[in-house]
Structure 1
Amino acid sequence: MTIVVEEPRTTGAPDAAVQHVPYDFSRPAQLSRESIRHLEAAFESFARLWSSQLTAKVRLRAHVALERVELVTYEEYASTLPGTTAMVTGAFADREEPCVVQFGLDSALLWVVQMMGGRSTTLPEGRTFTPIELALVRHVMDGTFEHLGASLDPLLPDAPVFGAVHYNPQYMQVISAAAAVIVARYAMRLGDAETAATVMLPVSVVVDRLAEAGDGVAPGHTAEHTLDQVSRAPVDVALRLAPITIRAGEVLELAPGDLLRFPHPETKPFELVAGATPIARATPGARGSRLACTITTVHEETR
């Protein structure tokens, strides 16, 4: 038996006037708009410096433009990358989590061709680097990490330094798959060739600096807001009799008009439950044309 528990209506502003942003428990980390703007400004500054660096070192007009900044898990980030690509890690002096600058192997090989004096108007076929090519790419990336550190200086613990080059994002486990990361996605143009690149920063490296700058993670979501939103969440409640155990065969043979005797005394209150959790005891009754119940006791653990 399900009994409707009616609460007295209160006067004042309607509940619809209180607006809350739904909380995504599968993605607990959130960035405020101020934080996003702060990060976008820093990553756009890096894009300008990186463009100038590539143009000077590669001897090919390069243009890097920021497309968007997003907050995802590392697993989600890795799943958006090609199966084979260049992922260059940048290590921080006092942190285990590195940052990552990712770009296509074809783009890097075009850099090498240009630095070796060659001329190409198309991207070469992507492949892993030879030792000489790796040395040239590292030469470029040393300057890239310097520019990244200069652009994001207020947000980073220190300037990152070249760590290593990885080719498969699925096997590159630099941090936990569920760890939150900030990803800046760039559109890159090298001469007439267009490609893409990304920069990944672990949130754990950046969040403290954002908070110190006054742009913390979700500053409006205080404990009071969370408690208020949880208290307004709808919950289904029901009145429950003492259960009875019968055989499965009897259940299959049930028909309209059958009588089941429950071991629940008439004078004993019913259990008021939320899901499977008892929260109170109540006696059934009526209010107008609708069934209702009167709370007699409330379990202490639910207070």
Structure 2
Amino acid sequence: MSAPGITSTLHHRVNDWFSVHARDLPWRDPECSPWGVLVSEIMLQQTPVVRVLPVWTAWMERWPTPRDLAAEPPGEIIRAWGRLGYPRRALRLQAAAAEIAGSHGNRVPNRVDQLLALPGVGTYTAAAVACFAFDQPEVVVDTNIRRAHARAVSGRALPEKSLTTAEMALARDLMPEDPEQACRWNAAVMELGALVCTARSPQCELCPVADLCAWRAAGMPEPHYKPTGQAWAGTDRQVRGAVMALLRDRGSVALSALPALTTSAGTLGAHRPEAAQYERCVDGLVSDGLAVLNGNGPEAMLSLPG
């Protein structure tokens, strides 16, 4: 499957498919700034496009440059992040904005090493921004790309549970030599994995390379492990989310009122946390910089950071 002729066919078919079927997303617009691309990549981490779109649009209208975001009170940024989840990303994005504004002339750097030096920017995000914002043929590997590679080339139903050296090597080997086509290939395979070669219900009849797919040729074997979803109900993540929802709505709440307010808001469903879980979650939010605790005892107030 790695023969040059077959690989070239993969490139052309998937890139041509992308030209016709790619979603019209604002961060793909040629006029979108590198800052807009960076914001989208941070927001899209573990979050579907449909939830990111309205938040990204409002965010870019309000803070069109890194300097605009860097000057905003953290509490406002957390409010604007809304229900995207993992709100620490919002604070890391602001920290990155401050670094860009202060050290890079309010312009997102175009070098991978400088991108990696920004708060909250890891290997994937740095490669994605370099590729999608600056047309640099970096190897971009997300879950959708790994799954498409696993099926089309490796003959497996799913990629490994976490990114492996072998998967990175495969992604590197599959990159087109032409820089423009390489950048397009990254976006196209990612889109193919998101829309067609999905985890649970792949639509092989719509796939432009179905006849070349090693997984189909092997009889579509079952995954070599059983995927497990991430628990939510009853977890600290759920309780933290409920508390953050209250803070975004009210700005501050009394610690003593948290049980009644989170229950009445309905964000915890049937879960009724014990006092120890509330305490643990509040301590975590304060430690992460997402909340501020003022006072002690029954009168203590939990607030968004100023």
TM-score (norm 1): 0.25
Structure having the larger proportion of residues in helix: 2
TM-score (norm 2): 0.24
